[in-house]
Amino acid sequence: MAELVQDELSALAAIFCGPHEWEVLSRSETHGTVVKIHTKAEGLKGVHVPLELMFHLPVSYPLCLPGISVHSEHLTRAQREAVKGKLLEQAAQLVSEPMVHELVLWVQQHLGNILYPPEATGDSDGCPSPPSTTGDDRLWMTLLHLDHMRAKARYTKTVEKWAADLRLTGRLMFLGKIILILLQGDRHNLKEYLILQKTSKVDVDSSGKKCKEKMISVLFETKVQTEHKRFLAFEVKEYSALDELQKEFETAGLKQLFSEFVLGLVK
């Protein structure tokens, strides 16, 4: 059970890797682990509400419910208690499996309905308000950096399979020792990909033994904008020169992101 929790913590650290998004507050063999996640959830009419979520994972977790605390300067005490109650209801349906990421995704997608139930947000004629089009249902994109691939052929096939299973498009890009994975798709599926990447034995260590990915970093994550190219498939591509890789990014409308995040990887 301890290994299961450790794998979940590693995956969460990779997913919530932005400034101040993730913090392990305490770890104890007798009292379990307490973590804090800073995120935003969509409230009414697409307004995003900052949330601070604390999860106490007891030693027997995930066979028991985690303790949950909700903090936000933008919510009243009653609203925070309502969010906590709904999260615990969701957690009860997920007992026996790691659930923190699922709970965060759930509250990101359902905060508006918790704070403003559909029957309370309709127009004067009784018709419900149209759903927001500014939330996580839009296309998202993320760029990942891998430190190395020892079992390149098998690793590449695994990445291609994950992308296909999760309906993600993009590129696995090789330039010398630089390895990048650019993914587009549903944000939930992108998060699921990261969990697979961090918790699966996808590579081998120096002795040839199967091992998990420990050296992955998320360079950026953003909604796909109008100037960004929509990839129609997932492809593996190798480049012989930096300008070839740069052209790939520029063609995709990612010139600025290339300058900010990729150039620094070139030694």
Give residue 184's domain range.
Answer: 139-265
Q: What is the CATH number of the domain that holds 181?
A: 3.30.70.100
Distance CA 214, CA 196 (A): 12
Regarding pTM above 0.75, the answer is: no
Structural domain includes residue 130: no
Tokens 């709904």 sit on residue? 86
Residues 90 and 154 reside in one and the same domain: no
Structural domain includes residue 28: yes
Residues 113 and 214 reside in one and the same domain: no
Residues 30 and 146 reside in one and the same domain: no
Residues 75 and 38 reside in one and the same domain: yes
**Edge-to-edge strands, sheet with 178-186:** 216-223, 139-146, 178-186, 169-175, 234-239
Structural domain includes residue 194: yes
Number of domains forming the structure of the chain = 2
Structural domain includes residue 128: no
Give the DSSP letter string of 123-146. Answer: -TTSPPPPPPSSSTTSEEEEEEEE
Q: String of b and e for 96-134 (b: at least 16 CB within 10 Å)? A: eebbbbbbbbbbbbbbbebbeeeeeeeeeeeeeeeeeee
**Residue 250, CA distances (Å) to 173, 178, 244, 247, 254 in order:** 14, 18, 10, 5, 5
Residues 258 and 145 reside in one and the same domain: yes
Residues 217 and 164 reside in one and the same domain: yes
**Quick check: 21 and 100 in contact, CB under 8 A?**
no
Residues 21 and 68 reside in one and the same domain: yes
Residues 180 and 66 reside in one and the same domain: no
Residues 181 and 255 reside in one and the same domain: yes
Structural domain includes residue 242: yes
The residue out of 85, 120, 155 marking a domain boundary is 120
Residues 206 and 239 reside in one and the same domain: yes
Calculate the CA 123 to chain-centre distance. Answer: 35
Q: What is the CATH number of the domain that holds 102?
A: 3.10.110.10
Q: Is 103 helix (H, G, I), strand (E, B) or coil?
A: helix
Residues 7 and 114 reside in one and the same domain: yes
- Ramachandran region, residue 115 (left: φ > 0; alpha: ψ -120 to 50; beta: rest): alpha
Q: What is the pLDDT along the chain (267 residues), one digit of tens a residue?
A: 578 888 889 889 888 888 889 999 999 988 899 999 999 887 765 678 899 999 999 999 999 999 999 999 888 888 999 999 999 999 998 888 889 998 998 898 888 888 877 654 444 444 444 443 334 446 899 999 888 787 788 889 888 988 998 889 999 999 988 999 999 998 888 888 888 877 777 776 666 777 766 667 888 888 888 888 888 889 999 999 999 999 999 999 999 889 888 888 876
Q: For residue 27, what pLDDT is reported? A: 92
